[in-house]
């Protein structure tokens, strides 16, 4: 398979610098209050997901993976 596509170096547009507003600035660490609020909100958001039953194929996969690690602990 051959490629007929050739690009001269003069045809390639120069790389552009992102606008100054797009550059992430280092931020201060999150406060304990902010971390606690984020944690509460994430728990509220994902609580319904955690209440759903585990699909049977995931359960079988976990059982299979748990079985493969038992023989390696004696090494």
Query: Does a structural domain hold residue 24?
Result: no
Task: For residue 66, give the H/E element and its range.
Answer: helix 56-70
Distance, in Å, from the CA atom of 65 to the CA atom of 44, rounded to the nearest integer, reads 30
Domain that holds residue 51: 30-68
Query: Does a structural domain hold residue 74?
Result: no
Digit-coded pLDDT (tens) for 4-31: 555 455 566 667 766 666 666 778 899 9
Distance, in Å, from the CA atom of 9 to the CA atom of 6, rounded to the nearest integer, reads 10
Query: Does a structural domain hold residue 73?
Result: no
Query: Does a structural domain hold residue 21?
Result: no
> Phi and psi dihedrals of 38, rounded to 5?
-60, -45
Structural domain total, the chain: 1
pLDDT for the residue 30: 92
Q: Is the dihedral of CA 25, 31, 34, 35 positive or negative?
A: positive
Digit-coded pLDDT (tens) for 37-75: 999 999 999 999 999 999 999 999 999 999 875 544 443
Mean pLDDT of the chain: 78
Query: Does a structural domain hold residue 4?
Result: no
């Amino acid at each position: 398979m051959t490629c007929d596509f050739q690009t001269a170096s003069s045809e390639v547009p120069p790389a552009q610098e992102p606008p100054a507003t797009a550059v992430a600035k280092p931020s201060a660490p999150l406060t304990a209050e902010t971390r606690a609020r984020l944690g509460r909100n994430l728990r509220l958001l994902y609580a319904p997901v955690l209440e759903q039953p585990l699909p049977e194929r995931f359960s079988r996969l976990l059982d299979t993976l748990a079985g493969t690690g038992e023989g390696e602990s004696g090494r």
